Amino acid sequence: MLELTTPERAVNQGRALSRPSTRKPSATAGRELGGSIECMGASMSFGRGVEIYGEGEPAEYFYKVLSGAVRTRKVLIDGRRQVGGFYLPGDVFGLEAGENHAFTAEAITACKVLVIKHSAIVARAKLDHAVAFELWLLSSNEVRRLQAHLLLLIKNAPERVAAFLLGLAERASPGDSIELPMSRQDIAEHLGLTVETVSRTISYLQSVGAIELSSVRRIVLQDRSALKRFDP
């Protein structure tokens, strides 16, 4: 099983292997992409903070998170930042067809990602119609995720944070305890708030008994219904 890994020292060097086109993506690990697509692409590892692809680069690959966590973000010229989404194991990102990526993708934690060339999928889609359908379904899921995120951004701070925590718990953890792979800053940029407001809001949710912090990055959802009360 061929596995491409970025050397440790790449961690703080910005871009690392974001254009795997120079490698032959021979068939390997990949379990399934969405459902019926399997056994295509290469597994790659990225260190914490390393860029997976950059804004403006041609979108030639899909990426499926195998382990760790990834964020997509865009930085405006005046420095404001927006995190488009967080991707956890099982999630697929980089779905934008044609053209170039509008966002940059970065590893939040060390992570493994299955990388699949668009053209490989399209070629397979011609043989297997289920693959073509899968492709549509994946983009479609991303549309839904973005639609839901739009709704978040019209709410107030407690509602945004509560919805974020509930969403994360639903995706990432079986129980009521969630490990946050991302920083407060990341959360803030995702929710369209400042770090201070996120921090204050988390404190507030704690003060009303909705959540409990066993550590800074580990949150226990003490009272889900209280949280849901914020989420109309």
Partner DNA sequence: CGTGATCTTGAGGGAATTCAATGTCGGTGG
Partner DNA sequence: CCACCGACATTGAATTCCCTCAAGATCACG
Q: Which residues bind DNA (CB under 7 A)?
A: 156-158, 183-185, 192-200, 202-203, 213, 215-217
Among 1, 9, 24, 97, contact with its own copies (rule: CB under 8 A): 97
Distance CA 48, CA 186 (A): 14
Give the nearest distance from C-beta 67 to its own copies in angstroms. Answer: 25
Partner whose binding site includes residue 203, from DNA, its own copies, none (CB under 5 to 8 Å by kind)? DNA
Partner whose binding site includes residue 166, from its own copies, DNA, none (CB under 5 to 8 Å by kind)? none
Evaluate whether 112 touches 64 at the Cβ level (below 8 Å): no
Distance CA 219, CA 158 (A): 15
Among 9, 22, 147, 207, contact with its own copies (rule: CB under 8 A): 147
CA 209 remoteness from chain centre: 29
Q: Determine if 228 is a binding residue for its own copies (CB under 8 A).
A: no
Partner whose binding site includes residue 98, from its own copies, DNA, none (CB under 5 to 8 Å by kind)? its own copies
Per-residue tokens: 4: 């491409």
Burial 139-161 (b: 16+ CB within 10 A, else e): eeebeeeeeebeebeebebbbbb
> Which residue has tokens 């994360």?
168
Give the nearest distance from C-beta 97 to its own copies in angstroms. Answer: 4
* Strands (E) located in 130-188: 177-179
Binding site for its own copies (CB under 8 A): 74, 76-78, 80, 82, 84, 95-99, 102-103, 122, 125-126, 129, 132-133, 135-137, 139-144, 146-151, 153-155, 192, 232
